[in-house]
Amino acid sequence: MRLESVLDWGEESQYLSGLERGDWKLKVLKIGGSVITRKKEGKGEVKEGVVKRISQEISKAYDSELILVHGAGSFGHPIANEFRLRDGLNEENVLGSIDTILSVRSLNTILVRELRRNSVPAFPISPSSAFTLENGEILSFFEDVIETCLSTGFLPILYGDVVLDKKKGFDILSGDKITVHLAKKYGGIAIFLSDTLVLDGEGNPIEELRGREFRDLGTSGPDVTGGMYGKIREILSYGVEAIIVPFKPGNLERVLKGEECECTRVIP
Protein backbone atom coordinates (compact mmCIF):
# COMPACT_ATOMS: atom_id res chain seq x y z
CA MET A 1 0.00 0.00 0.00
CA ARG A 2 1.36 3.42 -0.92
CA LEU A 3 1.12 6.38 1.42
CA GLU A 4 -0.24 8.55 -1.38
CA SER A 5 -3.24 6.24 -1.65
CA VAL A 6 -4.35 7.23 1.84
CA LEU A 7 -4.50 11.00 1.49
CA ASP A 8 -5.55 13.19 -1.40
CA TRP A 9 -2.66 15.61 -1.58
CA GLY A 10 -3.68 17.28 -4.84
CA GLU A 11 -1.16 18.56 -7.36
CA GLU A 12 0.87 20.63 -4.89
CA SER A 13 3.96 19.36 -3.11
CA GLN A 14 3.03 16.65 -0.65
CA TYR A 15 5.02 17.90 2.30
CA LEU A 16 6.72 21.23 1.65
CA SER A 17 5.43 24.78 2.06
CA GLY A 18 2.89 23.71 4.66
CA LEU A 19 3.72 26.71 6.82
CA GLU A 20 3.20 29.14 3.94
CA ARG A 21 -0.07 27.57 2.77
CA GLY A 22 -1.41 27.04 6.27
CA ASP A 23 -2.10 23.48 5.08
CA TRP A 24 -0.02 21.03 7.09
CA LYS A 25 0.52 17.86 5.11
CA LEU A 26 3.00 16.18 7.38
CA LYS A 27 3.68 12.76 8.81
CA VAL A 28 3.55 12.04 12.53
CA LEU A 29 5.54 8.87 13.16
CA LYS A 30 5.07 6.96 16.42
CA ILE A 31 7.69 4.35 17.29
CA GLY A 32 6.24 1.82 19.70
CA GLY A 33 8.02 1.52 23.04
CA SER A 34 8.05 -2.27 22.77
CA VAL A 35 9.80 -1.96 19.40
CA ILE A 36 12.86 -0.22 20.86
CA THR A 37 12.99 -1.51 24.46
CA ARG A 38 12.83 -4.71 26.47
CA LYS A 39 12.55 -5.43 30.17
CA LYS A 40 15.60 -7.07 31.76
CA GLU A 41 15.84 -7.89 35.47
CA GLY A 42 13.09 -5.41 36.22
CA LYS A 43 14.82 -2.55 34.41
CA GLY A 44 14.48 -0.95 31.00
CA GLU A 45 16.92 -1.95 28.31
CA VAL A 46 17.29 -0.53 24.81
CA LYS A 47 17.30 -2.77 21.76
CA GLU A 48 20.42 -1.14 20.37
CA GLY A 49 20.34 -2.85 17.00
CA VAL A 50 16.71 -1.87 16.44
CA VAL A 51 17.36 1.76 17.39
CA LYS A 52 20.28 1.88 14.95
CA ARG A 53 18.22 0.43 12.10
CA ILE A 54 15.27 2.76 12.75
CA SER A 55 17.59 5.77 12.82
CA GLN A 56 19.21 4.69 9.56
CA GLU A 57 15.85 4.23 7.82
CA ILE A 58 14.60 7.61 9.05
CA SER A 59 17.82 9.19 7.78
CA LYS A 60 17.29 7.71 4.31
CA ALA A 61 13.69 8.94 4.09
CA TYR A 62 13.76 12.11 6.21
CA ASP A 63 12.14 15.29 4.93
CA SER A 64 11.46 18.55 6.73
CA GLU A 65 7.82 17.86 7.60
CA LEU A 66 8.02 14.92 9.94
CA ILE A 67 7.23 14.76 13.65
CA LEU A 68 8.60 11.83 15.62
CA VAL A 69 7.04 10.37 18.77
CA HIS A 70 8.17 7.30 20.69
CA GLY A 71 6.68 5.22 23.45
CA ALA A 72 8.20 4.80 26.90
CA GLY A 73 8.28 1.00 26.81
CA SER A 74 10.19 -0.61 29.67
CA PHE A 75 11.64 2.79 30.61
CA GLY A 76 8.23 4.06 31.67
CA HIS A 77 5.54 1.46 32.20
CA PRO A 78 7.09 -0.55 35.08
CA ILE A 79 7.78 2.57 37.17
CA ALA A 80 4.40 4.12 36.35
CA ASN A 81 2.66 0.90 37.36
CA GLU A 82 4.68 0.52 40.55
CA PHE A 83 3.70 3.99 41.74
CA ARG A 84 0.18 3.87 40.25
CA LEU A 85 0.68 7.15 38.45
CA ARG A 86 -2.58 6.73 36.55
CA ASP A 87 -4.39 7.32 39.85
CA GLY A 88 -3.13 10.90 39.94
CA LEU A 89 -0.95 12.76 42.40
CA ASN A 90 -0.73 11.62 46.03
CA GLU A 91 1.86 11.62 48.82
CA GLU A 92 3.07 8.13 47.96
CA ASN A 93 3.78 8.66 44.26
CA VAL A 94 5.06 12.21 43.91
CA LEU A 95 8.71 11.07 43.76
CA GLY A 96 7.75 8.18 41.50
CA SER A 97 6.53 10.70 38.95
CA ILE A 98 9.99 12.29 38.88
CA ASP A 99 11.64 8.88 38.53
CA THR A 100 9.43 8.17 35.53
CA ILE A 101 10.15 11.54 33.91
CA LEU A 102 13.90 11.00 34.26
CA SER A 103 13.72 7.44 32.95
CA VAL A 104 11.74 8.20 29.79
CA ARG A 105 13.92 11.24 29.16
CA SER A 106 16.99 8.99 29.21
CA LEU A 107 15.40 6.79 26.53
CA ASN A 108 14.67 9.87 24.45
CA THR A 109 18.30 10.96 24.74
CA ILE A 110 19.50 7.58 23.45
CA LEU A 111 17.28 7.86 20.38
CA VAL A 112 18.25 11.50 19.74
CA ARG A 113 21.95 10.59 19.88
CA GLU A 114 21.53 7.75 17.42
CA LEU A 115 19.58 9.97 15.03
CA ARG A 116 22.38 12.55 15.32
CA ARG A 117 24.91 9.88 14.35
CA ASN A 118 22.86 9.44 11.19
CA SER A 119 22.80 13.20 10.49
CA VAL A 120 19.14 13.68 11.47
CA PRO A 121 18.64 16.99 13.37
CA ALA A 122 16.30 15.60 16.02
CA PHE A 123 15.19 18.24 18.55
CA PRO A 124 13.85 16.75 21.81
CA ILE A 125 10.64 18.23 23.23
CA SER A 126 9.62 17.16 26.73
CA PRO A 127 5.84 16.65 26.95
CA SER A 128 6.01 17.21 30.72
CA SER A 129 6.88 20.84 29.92
CA ALA A 130 4.87 21.28 26.72
CA PHE A 131 1.43 19.81 27.55
CA THR A 132 -1.23 20.14 30.24
CA LEU A 133 -4.09 17.72 30.82
CA GLU A 134 -7.52 17.73 32.39
CA ASN A 135 -8.82 14.35 33.57
CA GLY A 136 -6.31 12.65 31.29
CA GLU A 137 -7.27 14.55 28.13
CA ILE A 138 -5.06 17.13 26.44
CA LEU A 139 -6.05 20.61 27.57
CA SER A 140 -3.28 22.65 25.97
CA PHE A 141 0.16 22.32 24.45
CA PHE A 142 2.93 24.71 23.50
CA GLU A 143 2.53 24.42 19.76
CA ASP A 144 4.99 27.20 18.90
CA VAL A 145 7.99 25.03 19.73
CA ILE A 146 6.85 22.26 17.37
CA GLU A 147 6.01 24.68 14.57
CA THR A 148 9.32 26.51 14.97
CA CYS A 149 11.18 23.20 14.84
CA LEU A 150 9.51 22.36 11.54
CA SER A 151 9.98 25.81 10.01
CA THR A 152 13.69 25.89 10.89
CA GLY A 153 14.46 22.37 9.66
CA PHE A 154 14.59 20.39 12.90
CA LEU A 155 12.85 17.09 13.55
CA PRO A 156 10.66 17.45 16.67
CA ILE A 157 10.83 14.32 18.80
CA LEU A 158 8.38 13.74 21.66
CA TYR A 159 7.51 10.74 23.81
CA GLY A 160 5.09 9.30 26.32
CA ASP A 161 5.57 11.17 29.60
CA VAL A 162 4.16 12.26 32.95
CA VAL A 163 2.23 15.51 32.44
CA LEU A 164 0.57 17.93 34.85
CA ASP A 165 -3.21 17.50 35.07
CA LYS A 166 -5.50 20.25 36.40
CA LYS A 167 -7.86 17.76 38.03
CA LYS A 168 -5.60 14.84 38.99
CA GLY A 169 -2.33 16.63 39.68
CA PHE A 170 -0.61 14.62 36.98
CA ASP A 171 -1.33 11.77 34.60
CA ILE A 172 0.36 9.72 31.90
CA LEU A 173 0.22 11.22 28.41
CA SER A 174 0.80 8.33 26.01
CA GLY A 175 2.78 8.53 22.82
CA ASP A 176 -0.29 7.28 20.95
CA LYS A 177 -2.40 10.18 22.18
CA ILE A 178 0.32 12.71 21.32
CA THR A 179 0.56 11.23 17.83
CA VAL A 180 -3.12 11.38 16.93
CA HIS A 181 -3.50 14.79 18.57
CA LEU A 182 -0.73 16.29 16.43
CA ALA A 183 -1.93 14.54 13.27
CA LYS A 184 -5.39 16.02 13.79
CA LYS A 185 -4.06 19.45 14.72
CA TYR A 186 -1.93 19.74 11.61
CA GLY A 187 -4.01 17.74 9.13
CA GLY A 188 -1.36 15.07 8.74
CA ILE A 189 -1.14 11.31 8.57
CA ALA A 190 -0.35 9.23 11.66
CA ILE A 191 2.09 6.36 11.14
CA PHE A 192 2.53 3.78 13.89
CA LEU A 193 5.61 1.55 13.84
CA SER A 194 4.62 -1.56 15.78
CA ASP A 195 6.21 -4.86 16.70
CA THR A 196 3.20 -6.76 15.37
CA LEU A 197 0.79 -6.82 12.47
CA VAL A 198 -2.86 -5.87 12.96
CA LEU A 199 -4.56 -9.26 13.06
CA ASP A 200 -8.15 -10.38 13.18
CA GLY A 201 -9.44 -13.01 15.59
CA GLU A 202 -8.24 -15.81 13.29
CA GLY A 203 -4.71 -14.47 13.06
CA ASN A 204 -5.07 -13.01 9.56
CA PRO A 205 -3.55 -9.61 8.70
CA ILE A 206 -6.05 -6.77 8.25
CA GLU A 207 -5.11 -4.54 5.31
CA GLU A 208 -7.82 -1.91 5.79
CA LEU A 209 -10.01 -1.03 8.75
CA ARG A 210 -12.81 1.55 8.55
CA GLY A 211 -14.41 3.23 11.52
CA ARG A 212 -17.91 2.13 10.58
CA GLU A 213 -16.72 -1.48 10.58
CA PHE A 214 -14.94 -1.26 13.90
CA ARG A 215 -16.96 -2.67 16.78
CA ASP A 216 -16.33 -3.69 20.35
CA LEU A 217 -14.80 -7.11 20.73
CA GLY A 218 -17.39 -9.84 20.50
CA THR A 219 -19.59 -8.18 17.88
CA SER A 220 -19.85 -8.86 14.17
CA GLY A 221 -17.18 -6.30 13.23
CA PRO A 222 -13.50 -7.10 12.69
CA ASP A 223 -12.02 -8.69 15.81
CA VAL A 224 -8.72 -6.90 16.40
CA THR A 225 -6.56 -8.74 18.88
CA GLY A 226 -4.27 -7.65 21.70
CA GLY A 227 -3.06 -4.13 22.44
CA MET A 228 -3.95 -3.03 18.92
CA TYR A 229 -7.57 -2.66 19.97
CA GLY A 230 -6.86 0.28 22.28
CA LYS A 231 -4.54 1.88 19.75
CA ILE A 232 -7.14 1.76 16.99
CA ARG A 233 -9.83 3.12 19.31
CA GLU A 234 -7.54 6.08 20.05
CA ILE A 235 -6.97 6.68 16.34
CA LEU A 236 -10.67 6.57 15.50
CA SER A 237 -11.65 8.75 18.46
CA TYR A 238 -9.60 11.58 16.95
CA GLY A 239 -10.91 11.01 13.44
CA VAL A 240 -7.47 10.85 11.81
CA GLU A 241 -6.25 8.58 9.07
CA ALA A 242 -3.44 6.28 10.07
CA ILE A 243 -1.12 3.57 8.87
CA ILE A 244 0.10 0.83 11.21
CA VAL A 245 3.39 -0.65 10.03
CA PRO A 246 5.09 -3.74 11.46
CA PHE A 247 8.79 -3.31 12.15
CA LYS A 248 10.62 -5.25 9.47
CA PRO A 249 13.83 -4.29 7.65
CA GLY A 250 13.09 -1.56 5.10
CA ASN A 251 9.41 -1.23 5.96
CA LEU A 252 9.76 2.11 7.78
CA GLU A 253 11.86 3.64 5.02
CA ARG A 254 9.34 2.57 2.41
CA VAL A 255 6.29 4.00 4.18
CA LEU A 256 8.06 7.31 4.83
CA LYS A 257 8.92 7.52 1.13
CA GLY A 258 5.36 6.66 0.13
CA GLU A 259 6.32 3.31 -1.35
CA GLU A 260 4.58 -0.04 -1.15
CA CYS A 261 4.90 -1.65 2.27
CA GLU A 262 3.22 -4.15 4.55
CA CYS A 263 0.74 -2.22 6.68
CA THR A 264 -2.82 -1.68 7.86
CA ARG A 265 -4.69 1.41 6.76
CA VAL A 266 -7.10 2.86 9.36
CA ILE A 267 -9.85 5.13 8.01
CA PRO A 268 -12.26 7.01 10.33
Backbone angles phi, psi at 210, to 5 degrees: -100, 150
Looking at the predicted structure, is the pLDDT value of residue 6 above 60? Answer: no
Tens digit of each residue's pLDDT (9 = 90 or more) over 91-147: 999 999 999 999 999 999 999 999 999 999 999 999 999 999 999 999 999 999 999
Number of domains in the chain: 1
Looking at the predicted structure, is the pLDDT value of residue 24 above 60? Answer: no
Alpha-carbon gap, residue 223 to 256, rounded angstroms? 28
SS3 204: coil
- Structural domain including 44 reads 3-7+14-267
Tens digit of each residue's pLDDT (9 = 90 or more) over 171-208: 999 999 999 999 999 999 999 999 888 887 788 888 88
Tens digit of each residue's pLDDT (9 = 90 or more) over 57-91: 999 999 878 999 999 999 999 999 999 999 999 99
* pLDDT, position 216: 45
92-113 as b/e: b if 16+ CB within 10 A: ebeebbebbbebbbebbeebbe
Q: Between helices 228-238 and 175-185, what is the axis angle to 10°? A: 30
Which domain CATH number covers 161?
Answer: 3.40.1160.10
